[in-house]
């Protein structure tokens, strides 16, 4: 049973380019979460999605960032016109159907390390 997969593992972009980060949740999981970890800092929640729906995007920057989780295929975190401050590790997590709020375990992927030159 494969875990959460993220690709690419490392991504280098120049300022102004677009970055697309992909996340395939664990089999049977319908909830996806994205977190960002800036260098030497803790993880910060960005967005929580279910299939075709954004449930909570309270941690997403208002501009340049967007996320989707289509009916088919992986979840995508898209960063337009990247700047150096976007350099960070981006982690995706997934969980199965929520049967009891606050209890479900989130399974994390290995992360994508974005470097903006």
DSSP 3-state of 98:
coil
25 lies in the binding site for another protein (CB under 8 A): no
Q: Does 1 bind another protein (CB under 8 A)?
A: no
User: Least distance to another protein from the beta carbon of 101, Å?
Assistant: 5
59 in contact with another protein (CB under 8 A):
yes
Residue 91 in tokens: 């982690």
- Rounded CA separation 23/21 (Å): 7
Asked if 69 is part of the footprint of another protein (rule: CB under 8 A), the reply reads no
- Is the preceding peptide bond at 8 cis, omega within 30 degrees of 0? yes
Q: Is residue 35 a contact residue for another protein (CB under 8 A)?
A: yes
* Residues with Cβ within 8 Å of residue 44, at least 6 apart in sequence: 35, 36, 37, 38, 59
98 near another protein (CB under 8 A): yes
Q: What are phi and psi of 85, to 5 degrees?
A: -65, -10
Single out the residue of 29, 45, 68, 87 in contact with another protein (rule: CB under 8 A). 45
Q: Is 65 in the site for another protein (CB under 8 A)?
A: no
Contact footprint for another protein (CB under 8 A): 4, 31, 33, 35, 42-45, 48, 55-56, 58-59, 91, 93, 95, 98, 100-111
């Amino acid at each position: 049973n494969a875990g959460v997969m993220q690709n690419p593992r490392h991504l280098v972009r120049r300022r102004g380019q677009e970055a697309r980060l992909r996340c395939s949740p664990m089999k049977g999981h319908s909830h996806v979460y994205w977190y960002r970890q800036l260098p030497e800092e803790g993880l910060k929640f960005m967005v929580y999605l279910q299939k075709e729906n954004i449930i909570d995007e309270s941690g997403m920057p208002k501009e340049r960032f967007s996320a989707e989780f289509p009916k088919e295929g992986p979840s995508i975190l898209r960063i337009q016109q990247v700047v150096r401050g976007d350099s960070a590790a981006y982690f995706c997590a997934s969980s199965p159907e929520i049967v009891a709020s606050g209890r479900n375990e989130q399974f994390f992927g290995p992360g994508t390390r974005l470097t903006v030159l």
